[in-house]
Amino acid sequence: MKFFVDTADVADIADLAATGLLDGVTTNPSLIHKAGRNFLEVVKEICGIVEGPVSAEVVAADFEGMLREADVVRRLAPNVCVKLPLTMEGLKACKRLTSEGTMVNVTLCFSANQALLAAKAGATFISPFVGRHDDVGQDGMDLIEDIRLIYDNYDFTTEILVASVRHPIHILQSARIGADVITAPPAVLRALANHPLTEKGLAQFTADWAKTGQTIA
């Protein structure tokens, strides 16, 4: 399963990229606002830090406007993945851009039927938002199971990119279902490495080692 980080914070991205565990980055207009940086500048900088896909979202609502904006962002770097909303206009733009060889991440997916449309439009990635489902009292992971089943039924190659991930359990469940990618905030990715028994065991080993009076290097 690929790990993408969901942020436009360049320091966080560089820190996580140094672990070798990061396969890509997703941004959205809210994350760009939070970073307080120029959109095109920050996307270009991120593309230089991470080799994998970097999702950059267009804001136009119409087909022609989406294509105009997509043309600007895809010129920034070869690893830019144009992010389009799951609307009829977005799907039309998806079909066009992917036929030209541009990666597309179709975002704001909240139903399996929407995911089916994105696959038929040739999307590189579909982004179902699990956390926002949970927020309204539905189990977001049911959606991931449905999409996995449907994509496997028809051998669609669109990758399931689980988005709106809020905690490590979402990542565990995504891995069990066989999602292709998860995108999570930096804190959630870092939390994957934490376990109280790891900390307790390490403290014990460190204390016992000190008692030996030895050094290794």
Amino acid, single-letter form, for residue 166: R
Q: Which two tokens stand for residue 3?
A: 């790990």
Residue 121 DSSP code:
T
Residue 115 DSSP code:
H
Find, among 68, 102, 105, the residue nearest to 84 by Cα.
105
Four-point Cα dihedral 4, 10, 12, 15, nearest 10: 90
Binds ligand E4P (CB under 6 A): choice among 52, 65, 131, 186: 131
Smallest separation, CB 38 to ligand E4P (Å): 19
Radius of gyration of the chain (CA): 19
Which lies closer to ligand E4P via its Cβ, residue 123 or residue 163?
Answer: 163
Q: Residue with structure tokens 């087909």? A: 63
Give the count of residues interacting with ligand E4P (CB under 6 A). 11
The answer to whether 107 contacts ligand E4P (rule: CB under 6 A) is yes
Which lies closer to ligand E4P via its Cβ, residue 5 or residue 97?
Answer: 5
Smallest separation, CB 110 to ligand E4P (Å): 11
The answer to whether 164 contacts ligand E4P (rule: CB under 6 A) is yes
Residue 34 annotated to the active site: no
- Is residue 102 within 8 Å of residue 124, measured between CB atoms? no
Active-site position among 34, 44, 83, 95: 83
Residues known to be catalytic:
83
List interacting residues with ligand E4P (CB under 6 A): 6, 26, 28, 107, 127, 129, 131-132, 163-164, 183
